[in-house]
Every structure is written in C-alpha cells, then in structure tokens.
Amino acid sequence: MDTYREPARELPVSHDVDVVVAGGGTAGTAAAVCAARLGLSVVMVEQTAIPGGMVTHVTHWLSDFANKGGFAREFIEHLQGSGICQWPYHNLFQTTLYLDELVHASGVRHLYLARAAAPMRDENGQVCGLVVESKSGRHAVRAKVVIDATGDGDVAALAGATFAVGRESDGACQSISLSHLLTNYTGPAMGNPDFLALLDRAAAAAGNGYRIPYDRARVQTLAGTRQCIWNGTPHVCGHDPLDAASLSDALVALRRQCREFHDTLKHHTEEFAHIEFGPIAGLPGVRESRRIRCDEAVNYADASGGCRRPGGLFLVTQAIDIHKCREGEPDIYVEKIKPYHIPYGALLPQGVENLLVVGRCIGGDHQALASYRIIADCFAMGEAAAIAARLAVKGRCSPRAIPGERVAAEMACLGYEQ
C-alpha cells in the first residue's frame, strides 16, 4: 500500500475536563448530561449537527422503557407528557429540541460537526483524552475519563482494544437503513398487510417490478403532525459500515430507494397522489459493526435464559430483532427473550484504562446485540457510564477499579429495575 508520513505536530489542548464523551448519539447524550448533572465538567464531541443519534435521525419507534429509571424515565415521561410521543412513536424533530435543552441546561460543552480522531495518551501510554478534528482544526481535549459512545467503538479500537464484527458464522452485519420524510399525506392510516397489498398494486400499475426493501412498513402520521410520514423502509445489505467507500455506496443506494418508494406510491396510487418528497435523514441506521471485547460479554444464552449477575446495571426486556444480513434472508428475525442484565464489565474494554464503551459496541455477541441496541437500553448504558465516571474521578482511579455492584446500586436508587 502506498503511504504518506504525516509530520509530527503539537496540538493545542482546547479543553481540560473530567469527562469527554466521543459521540453525542443516544448513549452519548445520556452519558454527557448525566455526568454533568453529577457535578463533572464534560465535553461532548458529535460528528453531526444535532444530538440524539438514532433517536433523532433514524427511528420514531420506542420500546423497553417500562423498567427503566433515571434519565430514560425522565425522557419518556417528558415526551409523553408534552405530546412529542404517542406511544410507541415519537416526533424526532421535537425530540431534537428537547435534547438540546437538556444538554444546555446540564452545562455540557457540546462540540458539533466534530469527530473523535484518536485517543490522547499520557507519558505512560494511558488514555487521557481525545484528539478531535473540528471546525477549529485538530485539537485535544484532556480528560480523566473517556466515554466511547461512537456506536462503532472507534475510540476503543484506536486505543488498542480488540473487537469482533458481524455474526460469528460469516462476519456479515445487519442491514443498514435510512429514514425519509414524506409530507402532504392525506390518506388513511394502514396496517402492514394493507400497505403491502397497496405497494403490490402500485408496482403492478407502474410495471417496474418494485419491491419494498423492508416488509414491516405501515402507514401512520408522525407523532404531532397531520400530514407527515416517517419512512424507514430503505435497507441495504452487504456494505461494510467500517469502510468509508462501502458505507458511502450504501448511502447512495439508500437515497435511491427513498426516491423509488416515493415515485411508485405518488404516481401509481390514489392514496399517495399528493405526497411531496421531504428531507432524508443525515445519518444512516447502522445496527451493527464493532463489538469491543470487554471484561464481560452479553451473549445469546444470557438473553434467552434471562441471565442475572452481580454488578448487573439494569434489565433488558427487548426481543432479539435481527434485520437481514444478506439478500435472500428474511427481512427480520425476532425471538423473545427473558429479562437479562447488562453487567458493568461489558462497558470496560480489555487492556485499556480510563475508557468506557456504551451503546451497540459494548461486549456482546451478534444475537444479544440485536436486543440491547434499543434506545432505552442505550440511555441506561450512558447513565451507568456517567455514574462510573464520577466514582472514578472522585477516587482518582480508572473506571475498572470501580466495583460493578456500586454502580448497580446507584442505578437501582434511580429506579432502574434490578
């Protein structure tokens, strides 16, 4: 491979804080807000222009909140009380504004359109912050604890943590999706069978052989609106979410699917004749990439058998929900589970100090991941990481030195079912 040697350079330290959170998505926003509320100084680095990740870019469907306390309960009670959520669906745009308010009120220093480029290391080689690339250039954020909420485990991998990708049999990852807003819809609500039948009739009328990429679609207006539909049917398989070119090709293919969906319905059905093409989400729905090897791991047997263990932070009740990994497979595979624990050790990358991972990249396997990657559970992971960070900063130690039982006890006090 042709190479280029980048000249060494000194970077300005733009911030010196207790905690830096890499990624302001679902888990990252919760981690940052909760850490700041616990009295820590916090910087949150987010590559997009808004907080929330999957909950503000991708999905309008919520689940697994019933047994949650703390930040997760506060979130869902606010959304339901304000009309932002009409269970189980919520309005992503109004949710964005709510998360903005939470981040601002907590005192988090947010850095948007900024990317965590590398872990910052001290003279002993230990993680001590982040190197960030932003509109200010390349700079460093020094921190006592780093929380990797990138979803892909980018910081942990760059820090030397080992990881697995995709399902164990062939390394294939779940399909990537993209969401899209359709406006000016004046037709009726439709359940899944009726909508699929309508699509078949539209495809026959169009003569284009159109087939919906994801067959679980239904029609109902976005919560809080009268004439908008949030369409999450575009799905693609066989693209590597960790390869820049492959992920870019996936995005182009997904946007093409948005157009095909719109055109087929608009020009070949009466119900959708007046729809207009609305915004496409700026962030894809990546369901699976790296799973960091941590001190503990959550696996299929844990989920199917309802494993509970010391240091269990909270319970997951969401079913295993695997979107197809390769063309020709069923669009989705769902399997019920028994309530199981996410252990504290699943947030601690093996061989790396001063670093916690949260979100879909925690220690686990392909099947369990398809259960705990849900919004409510990512919120809970973020809050647990914030508690651990506060204990580590106070104790002047690595998060690994904090007993999982102590974090779990604080989660229980916040109302998380144990």
Run of H or E residues at 82: helix 70-82
- Same domain for 355 and 264, yes or no, is no
**Residue 364 within a domain:** yes
Distance, CA of 356 to CA of 44 (rounded, Å): 14
pLDDT band at 408 (very low <50, low <70, confident <90, very high): very high
Specify the pLDDT at position 1: 86
C-alpha 274: how far from its chain's center? 33
Specify the pLDDT at position 19: 98
Closest to 400 in 3D by CA, of 161, 158, 163? 161
C-alpha 77: how far from its chain's center? 20
Q: Is the peptide bond before 88 cis (omega within 30 degrees of 0)?
A: yes
CB 146 within 8 A of CB 130: yes
For residue range 233-277, list pLDDT tens digits in order. Answer: 999 999 999 999 999 999 999 999 999 999 999 999 999 999 999
For residue 147 the two structure tokens come to: 């929380």
How many C-beta atoms surround the C-beta of residue 94 within 10 A?
19
Q: Flag whether pLDDT at 150 surpasses 90.
A: yes
Specify the pLDDT at position 208: 87
57 phi and psi, to 5 degrees?
A: -115, -30
Mean pLDDT confidence for 138-143: 98
0.75 surpassed by pTM: yes
Specify the pLDDT at position 311: 86
Specify the pLDDT at position 104: 98
For a pLDDT cut of 70, what percent of the chain falls above it? 100
- Same domain for 303 and 406, yes or no, is yes
Q: Flag whether pLDDT at 212 surpasses 90.
A: yes
Specify the pLDDT at position 167: 94
Distance, CA of 350 to CA of 5 (rounded, Å): 30
pLDDT band at 392 (very low <50, low <70, confident <90, very high): very high
- Same domain for 331 and 270, yes or no, is no
Specify the pLDDT at position 151: 97
First to last CA, the chain: 51
| DSSP letter string, 56-80 | HHT--B----TT--HHHHHHHHHHH
Q: Flag whether pLDDT at 76 surpasses 90.
A: yes
Distance, CA of 30 to CA of 271 (rounded, Å): 40
Domain boundary among 249, 280, 311: 280
Q: Which residues pair with 146 in a beta bridge?
A: 20, 355
13 phi and psi, to 5 degrees?
A: -90, 105
- Same domain for 273 and 392, yes or no, is no
For residue range 358-389, list pLDDT tens digits in order. Answer: 999 999 999 999 999 999 999 999 999 999 99
| DSSP letter string, 243-281 | -HHHHHHHHHHHHHHHHHHHHHHHHH-STTTT-EEEEEP
Specify the pLDDT at position 398: 98
**Residue 418 within a domain:** no
- The residue segments making up the domain with residue 206 are 176-280
**Residue 151 within a domain:** yes
pLDDT band at 17 (very low <50, low <70, confident <90, very high): very high
**Residue 86 within a domain:** yes
For a pLDDT cut of 90, what percent of the chain falls above it? 98
Report the chain's mean pLDDT, rounded to a whole number.
Answer: 97
Specify the pLDDT at position 198: 97
Closest to 70 in 3D by CA, of 29, 30, 104, 100? 30
- Same domain for 275 and 358, yes or no, is no
- Same domain for 231 and 347, yes or no, is no
Count how many domains the chain has: 2
